[in-house]
Amino acid sequence: MSTTDDRTLSTQPAPPDGGAGGPVTLPRLGPVGWLRFVWRQLTSMRTALFLLLLLAVGAIPGSTFPQRSIDAARTAQWISDHPSAGPLLDRLGFFEVYASPWFAAIYLLLFVSLIGCVVPRSRIHWHQLRARPPRAPRRLDRLPAHREEVVDGSPDEVRDRLRTALRGRRYRVHAHDDSTLSAEKGYLKETGNLVFHLALIGVLVGVGWGHLLGWKGDVIVPVGKTFANTLGGYDTFSPGPWVDPTDLSPYTIRLDTMDVAFETEDKGAGQFGMPRDFRATTTFTGPDGRAEQREIAVNHPLETGGGTVFLLGNGYAPRVTVRDADGTAIYTSATPFLAQDNNYTSVGAIKVPGARPDDLGFAGFFLPTGVIDDERGPHSVFPDTLDPQLALTAFSGNLLPGGRPQSVYTLDTAAMKPLPGKDGADQLRILLRPGETFELPGGRGSITFDGVERFAGFSIRTDPGKTLTLVSALLALAGLVLSLVVRRRRVFVRVRPDETTGRTVVSVGGLAKDDDEGMDDEVAAVLTGPEGTR
Amino acid sequence: MTDYTLAQLSNYSVYSAMVVLTLAMLAHGLYLARIVPARESASTREEAPARELVAAGVGSEGSAASAEGAGGATADAVEAEPRSARKAAGIARMLTLLGTLLLVAGVVLRAAEVHRWPLGNMYEFAIVGAMFTLLAYVGWSTRRDLRWLGLFVVGPVLLVLGAATTVWYTDASELMPSLRSYWLAIHVTVATMTVAVFTLGAALGILYLVQDRLEASDAPPRSFMGRLPSARALERMTYGAHIIAFPMWTFTVIAGAIWARQAWGSYWNWDPKEVWSFVIWVVYAAYLHARATTGWKRQNAVWIALGGFVCVVLNFAVVNLFLVGMHSYSGL
Ligand code: HEM
């Protein structure tokens, strides 16, 4: 694009120096001048390009380093595995790339640049939409596409025919004088381009809105239990900064059944035991008190009106009864154990605070299809309950030293002592199958493995920005297609009488934005098409 | 027919496609070898000493010849293609068509075998992607003469098929629950088609950069490149492929986000596959930007597009296998 604005049909704002490659003079800039200079730099296409590439590069570390918001445990593990690089990278935000100040700086600058670029362009385009096509240049033969012919008819007749031809090809036509026509079409290209860029701002706003006003909470619900949508009902709850977490819609969800299917045929590498179907049947009781049976499955979330319920996990909750020395049950519950691998080798803890003489705690594994060998210890070899086993160690002491908050899936043994084994081993090992009972040493009572329930891991989320984001994204797509498919073209016509033959010399020149292979054909078609000169 | 026989048939079909495509590749290569301008091969023999002298000078003659000849438009370069070249091209075309049909059959049989859309693991992505690439090439060839492009399409396709059948091969199986959705058919199909178009775009981009070098240098076109479209035309075709692919990729990302909301609860999770899809989108956006930026060289813009293609390849070959995320569907 080395030629002037008029000839290239450019819709870009002119570069700061007007595009001329003249000698560079450096005027003395006052503070306002500097601001203006910085603003012009920021809103130039080159800067946008640079920031786009920077954004791409900046996004990559988030895929190669574990991210805290996605997998906090793996992130902590990585940092402790790399004692020198870990903390440094942590400080630089490499484990929270998409929330880090430098990533935000890139995309915010990009969007400032975008606004600074698109607003003036929209204004120009708005004026162009209502303006007439510009006057024909004096020398049409200098335009990239040009044809000249001598045809029958008077200049006025020829001009009228061409006007009709151009209109037929959906040009906007205007005659600035008696011997020329100026025609332009393809305004939708720039419109589409502007819609695309503006819609990107809509996407960003939608994402931000969802972040500020959305929330998500996770909860594990064993079969037969009911979840109530209150802050206390959740295992974890992460609200956006502007969310009032006491203002949740009062509904309950009872998990009636949890159906799970796994691949049982060995169809090739890695497929045996793969999950095939997860389906939770629930009783949903809305705020109005009406109860209905609803199914929640992967890819089929439940819309509640106050958050969408997704089935994101499942696992096993062994039902265990702990009795004291007199045989009174002091603990009866289905306790969720969390799956650690694809075969649902699950870990968990059973906490019995009311036992005597001290609190009792059990920690260990639940194995749906258990195998215990020396090499790998207790593990499961299939995700379904073909041979369920509970492998536990027992502790006594104080379960809640100092009342610190702790995870329900692990035992804090800081103030506890392991119960010793029978034959002098320093650790008691308990292995139970459903229905079996183990007598604890020292008159502490017994533990019975009654059976296994499944649990469902629900994630309940709201995102008030998602509609805006989706609509903007689709608008952006539509704008993009227009911008890339539509061609912006100008055609100029000049007629003059041919003195010698009494016919008319007609000269047609065409000009397109970008290089447009079809412009020659377009000019030819205008000249010779159905309404043209022949 | 049992699924087992279908599986065998599908595999045989893919293998025979590979054999046929190998022959097609040879024929395409032969075509290019035969269209090397005859005048040049003669002149290099006779005028070799003379040219050295000229080259020692400024070499203005040579550059003039090359600038015109590269477009394939000079009077003597327009001389008809040798008959043997035309024959090779005809054979290449038939073989490519046959290989494409065999690959289509392989994919259809695979789908019949697994009773679902055949896009559930890496092997299937690869063979379907290869199929779309060939279909795009064959389809486009009906509209313009693309015989010169054949080698650069069939070659990469064979490479992908080779990797698919050896490293990525997975026996047919059902889908994981999160993949059971009609969005699989929409999102993954469009993604695979887009990759096919990006592949054509990258092949054209590389040819453009080579052609551009040759046109800029003083050496007369001594290779088949002299018969290829001019650098300017190649650059336009590169752009043409990308402006088809870019909106398709935009759609892929949007559709993926809609599906992610259904399957994972949130439309964007910065899972590695999502990160890379985003990076690809941004890099190609930068390409389109660069091409429209006043004062940016077309060559540099095309380099950005090729960078985008490197990201596409990484997204498939590396992210699926080595980065931990929720898109763990490689089946390996
Ligand atoms: C979020 C960042 C941005 C993205 C993803 C983006 C993407 C794109 C894409 C894909 C195109 C190609 C459409 C076409 O060729 O018609 C384009 C064109 C364009 N962009 Fe952007 N853009 C961004 C920011 C900006 C900024 C900051 C500016 C201004 C400095 C800008 C100015 C333009 C202009 C003027 C065109 C039209 C080029 C032409 O005349 O063909 N864009 N943009």
Same domain, B205 and B71: no
Residue B74 in domain: yes
Q: What stretch of H or E contains A437?
A: strand A437-439
Per-residue b/e over B164-200, b at no fewer than 16 CB within 10 Å? bbeebbbbbbbbbbbbbbebbebbbbbbbbbbbbbbb
Provide the sign of the torsion angle of the four alpha carbons A9, A14, A15, A19, taken in this order. positive
Evaluate whether A182 touches A210 at the Cβ level (below 8 Å).
Answer: no
Give which of A1, A5, A17, A49 to mutate to test B binding, by max B Cβ within 10 Å: A49
More confident residue, A352 or A16: A352
pLDDT tens digit sequence for A356-372: 778 889 999 999 998 88
Residues with Cβ within 8 Å of residue B9, at least 6 apart in sequence = B1, B109
Same domain, B14 and B79: yes
Residue nearest to atom 16 of ligand 1 (CA): A483
Residue type, B36: V
CA distances from B285 to A116, A202, A511, B242 (A): 18, 18, 26, 10
Residue B257 in domain: yes
The structure tokens listed for A66 are 């574990």
What is residue A533's predicted lDDT score, i.e. its pLDDT? 56
Same domain, B86 and B208: no
Comparing CB atoms, the residue among B183, B283, B323 nearest residue A56 is B283
Nearest to A255 by CA among A214, A338, A315, A344: A315
Give which of B3, B190, B243, B267 to mutate to test A binding, by max A Cβ within 10 Å: B267
Q: Collapsing DSSP states into helix, strand and coil, what is residue B204?
A: helix
What is residue A132's DSSP assignment?
P
Residue B135 in domain: no
The gap between the terminal CA atoms of chain B, to the nearest Å, is 27
Q: What stretch of H or E contains B310?
A: helix B298-314
Same domain, B93 and B206: no
**Residue range of the domain that includes B100:** 1-118+147-152
More confident residue, B271 or B303: B303
| A111-115, B56-60, B85-89, B167-171: segment of lowest average pLDDT | B56-60
Q: Is the pLDDT of residue A447 over 70?
A: yes
Residue nearest to atom 24 of ligand 1 (CA): A114
| Predicted model pTM | 0.86
Same domain, B110 and B236: no
Tell me, yes or no, if B300 comes closer than 8 A to chain A by beta carbon. Answer: no
Nearest CA in chain A to B249: A477
Distance from the Cα of residue A185 to its chain's centroid: 37
CA–CA separation, A307 and A235 (whole Å): 16
Nearest CA in chain A to B272: A63
Residues of A in contact with B183 (CB under 8 A): 299
B residues 74-113 closer than 8 Å to A (CB): none
| A266-280, A499-513, B92-106: segment of lowest average pLDDT | A266-280
CA–CA separation, A481 and A475 (whole Å): 10
Q: Collapsing DSSP states into helix, strand and coil, what is residue A320?
A: strand
The structure tokens listed for A227 are 């979840």
Cα-based torsion angle of the residue sequence B316, B322, B328, B332 in order, rounded to the nearest 10 degrees: 90
Residue B158 in domain: no
B243, B287, B289, B291, best to mutate for ligand 1 pocket (most atoms within 8 Å of CB): B289
More confident residue, A444 or A112: A112
Instruction: Annotate A342-398 with three-state secondary structure.
Output: CCCCEEEEEEECCCCCCEEEEEEEEECEEEEECCCEEEECCCCCCECEEEEEEEEEC
**Of B137, B152, B167, which residue constitutes the final position of a domain?**
B152
Taking CB atoms and an 8 Å cut-off, how many pairs form between chains A and B?
146
Same domain, B242 and B101: no
Strands (E), A195-328: 215-222, 226-228, 236-239, 252-262, 275-285, 291-297, 302-303, 308-323
Dihedral pair phi/psi, residue A504, rounded to 5°:
-125, 135
CA–CA separation, A345 and A339 (whole Å): 6
pLDDT tens digit sequence for A289-313: 899 999 999 889 999 988 999 998 8
Q: Is the pLDDT of residue A117 over 80?
A: yes
CA-A514 nearest atom, ligand 1: 41
CA–CA separation, A474 and A207 (whole Å): 14
Residues with CB under 6 A from ligand 1: A 11-12, 43-45, 48, 52, 110, 113-114, 117, 193, 197, 200, 483-484; B 285, 288-289, 292
DSSP conformation letters of A150-198 = EESS-HHHHHHHHHHHHHHTT-EEE-SSSSEEEEEE-HHHHHHHHHHHH
Q: Collapsing DSSP states into helix, strand and coil, what is residue A516?
A: coil
User: Are residues B292 and A12, on separate chains, in Cβ contact within 8 Å?
Assistant: yes
Same domain, B57 and B187: no
Comparing CB atoms, the residue among B270, B292, B295 nearest residue A62 is B270
Residue B329 in domain: yes
Residue with tokens 């909301």: B261
Torsion region of B181: left, alpha or beta (phi above 0 gives left; psi -120 to 50 gives alpha): beta
Evaluate whether A2 touches B294 at the Cβ level (below 8 Å).
Answer: no
Q: How many domains does chain B have?
A: 2
Nearest to A148 by CA among A530, A408, A524: A524
Comparing CB atoms, the residue among B170, B266, B282 nearest residue A461 is B266
Q: Collapsing DSSP states into helix, strand and coil, what is residue A303?
A: strand
Same domain, B96 and B234: no
Residue with tokens 């100092």: A402
Tell me, yes or no, if B328 comes closer than 8 A to chain A by beta carbon. Answer: no
What is residue B136's predicted lDDT score, i.e. its pLDDT? 96
Give which of A63, A211, A309, A515 to mutate to test B binding, by max B Cβ within 10 Å: A63
Torsion region of B230: left, alpha or beta (phi above 0 gives left; psi -120 to 50 gives alpha): beta
Same domain, B112 and B189: no
Comparing CB atoms, the residue among A299, A312, A470 nearest residue B180 is A299
Same domain, B194 and B316: yes
Comparing CB atoms, the residue among A53, A469, A477 nearest residue B250 is A477
Same domain, B186 and B318: yes
Same domain, B183 and B318: yes
Residue B213 in domain: yes
Residue with tokens 């190609």: B284
Residues with Cβ within 8 Å of residue B299, at least 6 apart in sequence = B209, B212
Tell me, yes or no, if A477 comes closer than 8 A to chain B by beta carbon. Answer: yes
Residue B142 in domain: no
What is residue A24's predicted lDDT score, i.e. its pLDDT? 54
Cα-based torsion angle of the residue sequence B288, B292, B294, B296 in order, rounded to the nearest 10 degrees: 30
pLDDT tens digit sequence for A178-207: 999 999 999 999 999 999 999 999 999 999
Dihedral pair phi/psi, residue B158, rounded to 5°:
-65, -40
Q: Is the pLDDT of residue B223 over 80?
A: no
Dihedral pair phi/psi, residue A469, rounded to 5°:
-60, -45
Residue B136 in domain: no
Cα A112 to averaged position of ligand 1 atoms, centre (Å): 13
CA–CA separation, A495 and A15 (whole Å): 36
